[in-house]
Chains A and B, each alone.
Chain A
Amino acid sequence: MTNRVVHFRIYRYDPDKDEKPYMQEISVEIEPTDKKLLQALVKVKAKDDSLAFRRSCREGVCGSDAMNINGKNGLACLTDLDSLEQPIVLRPLPGLPVIRDLIVDMTQFFKQYHSITPYLINNDPPPERERLQSPQDREELNGLYECILCACCSTSCPSFWWNPDKFVGPAGLLAAYRFIADTRDQATNERLDNLNDPYRLFRCHTIMNCVDVCPKHLNPTKAIGKIKDLMVSRMV
């Protein structure tokens, strides 16, 4: 196995020195053990230390290195280099303000996450031991709790692009349903009230980009559908 060269076109913008963003063409030599996009990006950074991107766990569980890769949102650490056409075009996640290069300002994204009261609410005095939950009830949380808050989904959603301040977005709604679905949580009604709004929940038009890009194979659209069902069944 020999080294090979990978070609990139990368969105660059440093407000400290650039008047406007530009696309940088850069190529790097990678080793046979470099299988993932993130590994190649680390090589790019060794060549040009001014390229800024977030990264941490490099195994798809921390959610740091979400970016737009050849037009589709994904995690650099889970994306196979072999699956990508070259030059690999990298842009910051769409729809959020760019701070620098591939780093976006995620304030709005986390604001929406925080808006759904993202913690378990149970006002009974805590028992001495664990609250019991059957394995079947626990299974209801599968596909919900695994979210890594990478924002691939919300920033691929046209409804979130148009109304990031009003529409909770797929990640926040998935989290909302995670608590609604938890048998230990006692605030389902308040949670539904919180979302019963033309924008917060109902801006989801089941475009399903979120499902398409989720690196953890979660299905926010399905969770949103379940919240909508609960809204309806609560009314009748």
Chain B
Amino acid sequence: MNVETYTFDAVIVGAGGAGLRAALQLAEAGLRTAVLTKVFPTRSHTVAAQGGVAASLGNSTPDHWHWHMYDTVKGSDWLGDQDAIEFMCRKANEVVIELEHYGMPFDRTDEGKIYQRPFGGHSMNYGEAPVMRSCAAADRTGHAMLHALYQRNVRARTQFFVEWMALDLIRDQDGDVLGVTAMEMETGKVAIFHAKATIFATGGAGRIYYSSTNAFINTGDGLGMAARAGIPLEDMEFWQFHPTGVAGAGVLITEGVRGEGGILRNCNGERFMERYAPNLKDLASRDVVSRAMVTEINEGRGCGPNKDYVLLDITHLPPETILKRLPGIREIAIQFAGVDPINEPIPVVPTVHYQMGGIPTNYKGQVVVPKGDDLEVPVVGFYAAGECACASVHGANRLGTNSLLDLLVFGKASGETVIEDIQSGNLRLKPLPKDAADLSLARINRLNTATSGETVADVLLDMQRTMQKHAGVFRFAHLLKEGVARILQVEERVKHTFINDKSMVWNTARIEALELENMIEVAKATMISAEARKESRGAHVRDDCPDTPEFPNGRNDKEWLKHTLWYREGNRLTYKPVHLKPLHPDTQPIALAKRTY
């Protein structure tokens, strides 16, 4: 196959919030930039974010970036890197104000300022009381943000390659990253995007689970590409189950519903969160609320004929509030739960939502890997931001509204770092290795020539069910162990999938087969990292690591206050320390403590 080469200063893979924010930085700096995206930019999954973006603007209640930092470190169960978290919380106001200047239609306070609502785990004065920190555009914040960012990129004349799927990362013998291979979906053509800098903003892989709030496109393509190119994946055992996915459908109901006063109830009508989190109640961290819900269901206090969900109740809110602040949620409840939440509570269950781990980066957006004694050496030419990256600001559990903040802050930071690295002459266009496209062509060739095998749909379903059963809200030692064996079996089957469709034109069967090859890398990383982590922390809670006086909440800081790194080759695990020191010497670190809400 003839493989064309396109040359750019920078190539960005993904056009969700992080990719668009990075692109804006580069386009406005006049760098020749290509943005590759599987879907038209405004169809990226950032569009589905609902509740808001965190910033300590203090428009309605007093706030401070250090309170936000405290909440984020505590939310992460101290696994988050405090330098990166400080960087993010300090930058929040700047990036949110920028968005407002770009035209984002935030809701407004009576004074005309950006409207802010309370959100889970966000507090005033180091845990004292809920704070209004989530900057919102009704319950469509992600949509408003993604469109505003796209529009600003139209203004900046950013060059998009729409409906191009990146296939593989190109590295040379020094390990430097020189770009990616990609396939134009309409024609099946494969091309090389050769660049001085490559930024991954490919989003998460929530589709590795059976029940997920995520879009079909969230297949972890960046993680798959990185893993195949020998880059480790960090902290992949930590997956967020959002407390309120619509029972049965999986569609997200924002935590903003509880921010506006919504209450979770069991079959007795009891506001059960009062027992689990006496202080923040329904607005405790997501991992805490999800476990409380599953405990209620497991102990027979679930609702419905099968007692397998709980109820999210906003019937006590004035209908005007619902219509004004939560109009999208009302639509979703009517569409997917068949209830109008003005009159009836919404059936909800914890549903996979967010990948805390990802491609290891520092707070500048550089991808960092161990090399000799130095555990964080930047990979020349390689950057990542947003859900595909692990900075690590979310640690073992992300706070709501911190993902939109993450993609703004680190999208921008990665763009700025690329500009610095290019302008300082640190990055140059290195010659492409001769075999740059070979791996991608071989993957495609296998699919084009296979005459028999299992269908992608069958193998995908088994992978998703395995993840759901073996690495869920609560984790069990024996299920994790069995899960590792099972997911390795699924991996073998992924190598032998078969597609009937051999067309060159918009071949979605081929795209789905290639996506499955990315998802299985994430699934393996998750299961193997989870099985190995013998403690409970944040979203990773094991039956064999219970709450004891020695290990409060089952957390073992002596042995496990460290980041996991999973390598595809040999499924090898290594570890690296958590950054407990903030960025600035005068910033007070957040001292280790037991996590309660």
A residues near B (Cβ < 8 Å) are 14-17, 33, 35, 45-46, 48-64, 78, 99-101, 103, 106, 110, 114, 118-120, 122, 126, 128-135, 137-138, 141, 145-146, 148-149, 179, 182, 184-185
Contact assessment for A59 and B251 in the assembled complex, using a CB-CB cutoff below 8 Å? yes
Q: Which residue of A lies closest to B43 (CB)?
A: A62
26 contacts between A and B (CB under 8 A): A16-B503, A16-B505, A35-B249, A49-B457, A49-B499, A49-B501, A52-B506, A54-B39, A56-B45, A56-B215, A57-B45, A58-B216, A61-B48, A64-B39, A99-B506, A101-B506, A106-B40, A110-B40, A118-B151, A119-B152, A130-B113, A145-B105, A145-B144, A146-B140, A148-B47, A182-B103
Known: A64-B39, A149-B40, A149-B42. A56 touches B501 (CB 8 A): no
B residues near A (Cβ < 8 Å) are 39-40, 42-45, 47-48, 97, 100-103, 105-114, 137, 140, 143-144, 147-148, 151-152, 154-155, 186, 215-217, 248-249, 251-252, 328, 331-332, 335-336, 455-457, 499-501, 503-509, 512
Question: What is the CB-to-nearest-CB distance from B501 to chain A, in angstroms, rounded to a whole number?
Answer: 4
Per DSSP, chain A at the interface is loop
| Chain A residue contacts of B499, Cβ below 8 A | 49
Q: Which residue of A lies closest to B155 (CB)?
A: A119
Contact assessment for B143 and A148 in the assembled complex, using a CB-CB cutoff below 8 Å? yes
Contact assessment for A120 and B102 in the assembled complex, using a CB-CB cutoff below 8 Å? yes
Report the bound CA distance from A151 to B457 in whole Å. 29
Report the bound CA distance from A73 to B486 in whole Å. 43
Q: Which residue of A lies closest to B114 (CB)?
A: A130
Question: What is the CB-to-nearest-CB distance from A39 to chain B, in angstroms, rounded to a whole number?
Answer: 9
Contact assessment for B111 and A59 in the assembled complex, using a CB-CB cutoff below 8 Å? no
Contact assessment for B101 and A103 in the assembled complex, using a CB-CB cutoff below 8 Å? no
Complex A-B, nearest 7 residue pairs according to Cβ-Cβ distance, in ascending order: A120-B103, A132-B112, A49-B509, A46-B457, A50-B501, A119-B151, A62-B43
| Chain B residue contacts of A126, Cβ below 8 A | 101
| Chain A residue contacts of B40, Cβ below 8 A | 64, 106, 110, 149
* Contacting residue for B39 out of A35, A62, A182, A184, CB 8 A: A62
Report the bound CA distance from A155 to B137 in whole Å. 29
| Chain B residue contacts of A110, Cβ below 8 A | 40
Contact assessment for A57 and B97 in the assembled complex, using a CB-CB cutoff below 8 Å? no
| Chain A residue contacts of B42, Cβ below 8 A | 62-63, 148-149
Q: Which residue of B lies closest to A103 (CB)?
A: B506
| Chain B residue contacts of A59, Cβ below 8 A | 48, 251-252, 332, 335-336
Q: Which residue of A lies closest to B46 (CB)?
A: A62
Contact assessment for A14 and B143 in the assembled complex, using a CB-CB cutoff below 8 Å? no
Contact assessment for A135 and B110 in the assembled complex, using a CB-CB cutoff below 8 Å? yes
Report the bound CA distance from A152 to B391 in whole Å. 40
* Contacting residue for B154 out of A58, A61, A62, A114, CB 8 A: A114
Report the bound CA distance from A129 to B100 in whole Å. 9
| Chain B residue contacts of A35, Cβ below 8 A | 249, 336
Question: What is the CB-to-nearest-CB distance from B22 to chain A, in angstroms, rounded to a whole number?
Answer: 18
Q: Which residue of B lies closest to A138 (CB)?
A: B108
Report the bound CA distance from A115 to B392 in whole Å. 41
Q: Which residue of B lies closest to A47 (CB)?
A: B457
Question: What is the CB-to-nearest-CB distance from B58 to chain A, in angstroms, rounded to a whole number?
Answer: 11
* Contacting residue for B48 out of A55, A62, A114, A146, CB 8 A: A62
Contact assessment for A62 and B506 in the assembled complex, using a CB-CB cutoff below 8 Å? no
* Contacting residue for B503 out of A17, A58, A120, A138, CB 8 A: A17
| Chain A residue contacts of B103, Cβ below 8 A | 119-120, 179, 182, 184-185
| Chain A residue contacts of B113, Cβ below 8 A | 129-130, 132
Contact assessment for B100 and A58 in the assembled complex, using a CB-CB cutoff below 8 Å? no
| Chain B residue contacts of A182, Cβ below 8 A | 103, 105
Question: What is the CB-to-nearest-CB distance from B98 to chain A, in angstroms, rounded to a whole number?
Answer: 8
